A and B are shown apart, each in its own frame.
Chain A
């Protein structure tokens, strides 16, 4: 299998936070969801991948190359979307085009204006007056207009209304229809990733707690519902963590099929990515 992004034992230390030996791979042609709560280390990881900040240890390879050595050539193949627009507010899309066409060798002016038209973005209006959704669409238009094979996006749907979010997700799905196109998408909105991601990586407090095929993760994990006193019956090794709700105790298990047979009197339900994230975070906080 060909990997577009490979992280191996990547570390980065800040005061009060440490990205601790983060390792995961993003396969070519897939959408990889990078999930974590606020402050988990998603943005730091993405900035390390893009060589925006320097790592303290480990290795990162993008398209099989080293960003530190071949950064400009590799970045030509990467489209980036950040949570904040990053363009100067007095610039118009037309001016952004005149800037970008002299930066990216593969810039396609016609394609950029096609995207602007598709997204109904005014060409001569200052982007400072754009709404959040429009700013995101502008970033995506820029990211898609230079022949990028890899899209790296840091919380692109955060703060958007459901209609615009849906539109964004459709665009991302269209992008990966081409076999050599890949997306790494960080978000704490697990519903979006559950919808479009092929693989996911969970990060919590600077550590990868779970990564792999999304469907496999969803298939393997289950939410068992039982009474509080029934917890004693369940083996500790089967429990990821528990949560008390108004009516019962919920137990996340990592091997749904095995636990269904083992604890046949208990109700087993499908866990969502959000629930899996919450339970794993609770586990890391010691709330087992």
Chain B
């Protein structure tokens, strides 16, 4: 099983190098941005932006939070490169040698999930480091809040990857690119369903306040329910593994 995890990491060598550079970049840029926002040119730019867009402190803080989420999710988004392992296996014609190895179906599928969890852990560690540095230089984002954001975002990435991996086992590695879009489409449709009615009733003058309120609500949810979200995501991965295992056994190694 460890052998297959190693093989997956070899498959992802290029992606991991890019990931390392992005993670370092995220950490450095986060810290630089926060410092600049406090003491440098960004601070001046922010004041001008507030006046131009008629933004109060609350609106700006919400915008800031959204920016932090985008930055923190970058290292964790690399979890998506697990799809490369499926593609590389398909390209190499590895399914026959794979099924001739002295490993049970559960271990073969499990090793792929372990590779995914390893990527998730590495991404989370990078985001935690970035979050830690941000919390050091910004009072608005204490470590507990950053931890909440990271757990929720990582949970979302895990749930997305769990669905993606299950669909890959279901439909085959050749459709991996298309499969990557399916969870995003589901998420988009969910957002449209949840928010369409509400957003259409909001006037242009109220949009800033509405978006601020929504971001703050999401932020509070992420901080308060982070543990639950993360556990739910682990549950999704477990269900995904069970489903993938059954499909692998049924299709007998044809991925």
Instruction: Give the B-binding residues of A (Cβ under 8 A).
Output: 47, 50-54, 71-76, 78, 80, 82, 84-91, 95, 98-105
What chain B residues lie within 8 Å of A91 (beta carbons)? 7, 10
Which 9 A/B pairs are nearest by Cβ-Cβ distance?
A102-B3, A103-B3, A86-B97, A75-B102, A102-B2, A76-B102, A52-B99, A80-B100, A88-B92
- In the assembled complex, how far is the CB of residue B62 from the closest CB belonging to chain A, in whole angstroms? 45
Question: How many chain B residues touch A (Cβ–Cβ < 8 Å)?
Answer: 26
What chain B residues lie within 8 Å of A100 (beta carbons)? 3
- A88's nearest neighbour on chain B, judged by CB, is B92
What chain B residues lie within 8 Å of A95 (beta carbons)? 10
16 sample A-B contacts, Cβ–Cβ < 8 Å, listed by A number:
A50-B99, A52-B96, A53-B253, A71-B102, A72-B107, A75-B102, A78-B100, A80-B100, A88-B7, A88-B88, A90-B13, A91-B7, A98-B3, A101-B3, A102-B2, A103-B102
Select B253's contact among A52, A82, A84, A86, beta carbons within 8 Å. Answer: A52
Tell whether A88 pairs with B102 under 8 Å between CB atoms, given A52-B253, A82-B96, A99-B4: no
Cα A73 to Cα B104 in complex, Å, equals 9
What chain B residues lie within 8 Å of A71 (beta carbons)? 102, 104
- In the assembled complex, how far is the CB of residue B117 from the closest CB belonging to chain A, in whole angstroms? 17
What chain B residues lie within 8 Å of A53 (beta carbons)? 252-253
Cα A105 to Cα B94 in complex, Å, equals 20
What chain A residues lie within 8 Å of B4 (beta carbons)? 99, 103
In the complex, are the beta carbons of A99 and B103 less than 8 A apart?
Answer: no
What chain A residues lie within 8 Å of B93 (beta carbons)? 84-86
Docked complex: B114-164 residues within 8 A CB-CB of A: none
In the complex, are the beta carbons of B94 and A103 less than 8 A apart?
Answer: no
Q: Other than the known A72-B107, A91-B7, what 11 A-B pairs have Cβ atoms closer than 8 Å? A: A51-B252, A52-B99, A52-B253, A75-B103, A87-B97, A88-B89, A90-B10, A98-B6, A99-B6, A103-B4, A103-B101
Docked complex: B1-23 residues within 8 A CB-CB of A: 1-4, 6-7, 10-11, 13
What chain A residues lie within 8 Å of B102 (beta carbons)? 71-76, 103-105
Instruction: Give the A-binding residues of B (Cβ under 8 A).
Output: 1-4, 6-7, 10-11, 13, 88-89, 91-94, 96-97, 99-104, 107, 252-253
Cα A85 to Cα B92 in complex, Å, equals 8
Tell whether A47 pairs with B103 under 8 Å between CB atoms, given A99-B7, A100-B3: no
- In the assembled complex, how far is the CB of residue A54 from the closest CB belonging to chain B, in whole angstroms? 5
- In the assembled complex, how far is the CB of residue A254 from the closest CB belonging to chain B, in whole angstroms? 36
Cα A53 to Cα B101 in complex, Å, equals 14
Select A80's contact among B94, B97, B104, B252, beta carbons within 8 Å. Answer: B97
What chain A residues lie within 8 Å of B7 (beta carbons)? 88, 91, 99
- B2's nearest neighbour on chain A, judged by CB, is A102
In the complex, are the beta carbons of B92 and A72 less than 8 A apart?
Answer: no
Select A87's contact among B1, B2, B92, B252, beta carbons within 8 Å. Answer: B92
Tell whether A75 pairs with B100 under 8 Å between CB atoms, given A87-B92, A88-B92: yes
Cα A50 to Cα B253 in complex, Å, equals 12
- Of the listed residues A80, A88, A101, the one surrounded by the most CB atoms of chain B closer than 10 A to its CB is A88
Cα A26 to Cα B7 in complex, Å, equals 34
Cα A54 to Cα B250 in complex, Å, equals 9
Cα A105 to Cα B101 in complex, Å, equals 11
What chain A residues lie within 8 Å of B104 (beta carbons)? 71-72
What chain B residues lie within 8 Å of A47 (beta carbons)? 96
